[in-house]
Chain A
Amino acid sequence: MNASSHDPDTRLPVVFTLADLKQQLPGDEQAAMALALRWLESGQVRQVAPPRPVFIRLGSGETPAEADLCLALRRAFPSLVVVGGSALWRQGISHERDAVLDCAVSEPVERCPLPGVRLHQRPAGWLDVVSRTGGLHGHLHEVPLLSAEMAVADAARFTDVWVPDRDHLDWRTLSAERITAAQDAMNSL
């Protein structure tokens, strides 16, 4: 790898960590740090969720592809789950599309400057409760989605995610019993 290059090296994947970069420059941590800083300054690379050492190659103003976005977020936050209207739209329950991808994480989040995504912090144990009560359903690029009923209950409990108006939801596919069970689970947190 040419350390003096101004372009992010094409041998690195679109999403990479500081460890990946150090592997490209073995034995020279300072060079890896300097290179990462130069790429960050140029705007071609962004830190997914500063200060976490996970990066995504991105032109300035460019919105990353959804698959890359999901991969970047998964690498920064192992507990990532798609919630709210984003989960409902992707399961065909909502007739209204989300403007940004709403995701929940159990780890502390300082900020996430990536376009097209909004992160919401959940308490420790949230994912355990959700999974124990069968609140996960399907994946979006390997990121689990909340089930429709759990997405409704979670939105009602934490009130920080976007959900479409009642008129834009397909209520025939939602089970009232499962919503009650999901609400009970959310209230136990």
Chain B
Amino acid sequence: MASEGQKAVSESPLRLAIEALHGRARALSEYYSVYRSGAGPRARGRRHQRVRELRHDIVRLQAWTWYLSVADRRPWWWRALHRLSGVFGRDRREQAGRRRHRRAGIQRLSSFSVVDRAYVAQMEDFQGRLLTLQLAQQSRPDPRRAACQQRLEDAVRRLAEHRRCLAENAGRVAVICWALARVLRVRGWLGLDRGEPCVVDS
């Protein structure tokens, strides 16, 4: 099942976006471990708040990953959610950056920003690789390295395209993340798998 899920992901045109989301969720999980252990930067009173923010961001990333990873198969619940998010997300105004969450009293990123930052982080990771390659290429030219460089540049362009699509559908992202994050939480409470949502199916 897992290998089928992974295969589906690797063949999907959304593969890059899904990889970016997985990578960002992994990175945030590292920060989560650091803050939970109390080893993070020592800002008084911020630790628990940061832990909650990170937990919330991670589950929204997992929710959007889940949505994208089944987009090729379009199960019934995906089609229903897609339609509903189009209706309810149409007039939502999502802004980049942090905003104060009324009930929790903490600063939270919008779902759009959480996902957008995942794409940006992946783009910058690729650009870091590009710089490393370009530097090596100048001292010792290698055609294999040039091919790799080309692939990375294509990947950066495709991620920029994903970012543009995301910005056009910011309201939809908010509704989908809100709904699927709750499903993932319930799955977590019931002890069902929530670590790899891309292999969870209808």
Which A residues have a C-beta under 8 Å from some C-beta of B? Answer: 17-19, 29, 33, 36-37, 40-41, 47, 50-54, 78-79, 81, 106-107, 127-128, 130-132, 136, 139, 142, 144
Residue among B31, B131, B138 with most chain A CB within 10 A? B131
A-side contacts of B120, CB under 8 Å: 19
Q: How many chain-B residues does the 8 Å CB contact rule pick out?
A: 23
> Which of B30, B38, B132, B138 has a CB less than 8 Å from the CB of A79?
B30
> How far is A106 from B125 in the complex, measured between Cα atoms in Å?
18
Does chain A have a CB within 8 A of B200? no
Contact B132 A18 (CB under 8 A): no
On whether A52 and B125 interact (CB within 8 A), knowing A41-B138, A78-B27, A128-B33, the answer reads: yes
Taking CB atoms, residues of chain A closer than 8 Å to B124 are 17-19, 53
A54: chain B residues at CB < 8 Å are 128
**11 extra interface residue pairs, beta carbon distance < 8 Å, beyond A40-B135, A51-B129, A130-B37:** A19-B120, A19-B124, A50-B132, A51-B125, A51-B132, A53-B131, A78-B27, A79-B34, A136-B37, A136-B38, A136-B39
With CB as the reference atom, state the residue of chain B lying closest to A142: B41
Distance between Cα atoms of A50 and B27 in the complex (Å): 17
Cβ of B34 and Cβ of A47 under 8 Å apart?
no
For residue B102, CB closer than 8 A to chain A, the reply is no
List A contacts of B37 (CB < 8 A). 127-128, 130-132, 136
Alpha-carbon gap, A106 to B32, bound state (A): 13
Taken residue by residue from 145 to 185, chain B's Cβ proximity to chain A (1 for < 8 Å, 0 otherwise) reads as 00000000000000000000000000000000000000000
Residues of B near A33 (CB, < 8 A) are 127, 130-131
Q: Tell me the bound Cα distance from A37 to B135 in angstroms.
A: 7
Are B30 and A78 touching (Cβ within 8 A)? yes
